[in-house]
A and B are shown apart, each in its own frame.
Chain A
Amino acid sequence: MSGKGMNLTLKIWRQKDASSKGQMVDYKVTDISEHMSFLEMMDVLNEQLVNSGEEPVAFDHDCREGICGMCSMYINGEAHGPDRGITTCQLHMRMFNDGDTITIEPFRAAAFPVIKDLVVDRTSFERIQQAGGYISVNTSGNTQDANSIPISKHAADEAMDAATCIGCGACVATCKNSSAMLFVGAKVSQYALLPQGQVEAADRVQNMVAQMDLEGFGNCTNTGACEVECPKGISLENIARMNREYLAATLKG
């Protein structure tokens, strides 16, 4: 492998802490294998930085198999980089060419403040979830059989599709309005489609939307960019469903 790898120039956002002013800094990495994931390439860079006594680049990562939603990064102007239906850990270096310059920035939104370098604070999503992204069922010792309430295949499929959202925030990062409506739409939908969730559906959508607005996310203008960049392929139909749910709940009073 040695000698056949790619040589790359990386332009990376470096920011000491939340209150510091950040800037783009250039780095060079050499002999990068096309089989590496993007995060492995970042590991190579960090090893290089540590060996030369510099501060490594901070970035979020956890499972590295595309399910936890931790890895973020805005790569060459796109959330999770140039591939589709993936998170950054699933982005492979074969998507790039020898000699490329790659721009790496944190997810940007007023509601996602930078903590350090490429790490952003996405707890605004958790506060939206806490506002209603659950069902109030007592599960301590008297759990009912899941099959006691029949659910149509269609509803089950749609709810499951919505529930695949991993809350990574790519939708917000890619949205020109920094809107969180795809995330909230998915969370509202996964419950609203099922009888167990419908009991609290009206309160849920109103509370979650209110929290979303409070966190300072922008307003959706239906560009559809979120749907394209979403690693889980969450559909815009979920935003339409949230709009319907919200309008029905609000107009009924």
Chain B
Amino acid sequence: MSGILNSSIGRKFAMALSALFLMIFVLQHFVINLFSVISPDTFNEISHFMGTFWVIQYVIQPILIIGVIFHFVMGFVLEIKNKKANGVKYAKNYGAANSTWMSRNMIWSGGFILAFLIIHFIDFWIPEINTKYIVGDMSGMHNGEFRYFHELQEKFVPIWRVALYIVGFVFLALHLLHGFESAFQSTGANNKYTKGLQGFGKAYAILVPLGFIFIALFHHFTH
């Protein structure tokens, strides 16, 4: 057990586990966001619950942040190590002959997702933390009603932000198109069920980011 993170396969496994965790997180985030389209009241209720329930705030949220940081740091560490293993660069290398663009550019799609996450944190997460823990307002209210849905709508008024979010989700889709399947392979799950899993992975990788894009556009055009 000791030093498992010092071995190539151990690192790969840790990368896959954090990826699987983050994919579950993205899915629940998507489901909650979807309520903002279906029922603003339910969206407000869930947002308030998620934002104030101690298990989520003090247990799950820190795990999530550690998971995100770990996945990024390990991603960059592996990229640097792998570059070092390369030796002299090929004069001609025809990567498209044997692998997908997504699989060869995880560091780029991942890097853009990181940039998007920073913007997303500045937009939503930091103001939330400020209101709740710096200002000390845990009520979730503004002018006598829940503020969450209203804040969400206001954020998607400027078209540049909507465009930025769309770009972010395109990169998420590209990352997931390789990442979903890759995470299972890394944990050793490659068997007779893999074909079905691959299909599900492709659907997840396209539908979830597309859903996020739809939600952003929906609020831009309906507010």
Contacts and interface: CB of A to CB of B under 8 A. Distances in A.
Interface of A: 11, 13, 22, 24, 74, 76-78, 82, 103, 105, 108-114, 174, 176-179, 181, 209-210, 212-213, 216-225, 228-229, 236-237, 239-244, 246-247, 250-251, 253
Contact of B94 (A22, A76, A112): A76
Contacts of B92: 74, 76-77, 103, 105
A110 B90 contact: no
Contact of A77 (B7, B11, B97): B97
B87 interface: yes
Nearest to A243: B188
Given A250-B1, A250-B7, A111 B98 contact: no
B104 A209 contact: no
Interface string B102-139: 01101000000000000000000000000000000000
B13 interface: yes
A103 B91 CA distance: 8
A225 B95 contact: yes
Contact of A228 (B86, B97, B106, B190): B97
A222 B8 contact: no
Contact of B91 (A24, A224, A240): A24
Interface in B44-101: 78, 81-82, 84-95, 97-100
A83 B4 CA distance: 39
20 contacts: A11-B91, A13-B91, A22-B88, A78-B97, A78-B98, A176-B95, A178-B87, A181-B8, A216-B85, A218-B8, A219-B12, A220-B12, A222-B181, A240-B189, A240-B190, A241-B190, A243-B188, A247-B9, A251-B1, A251-B4
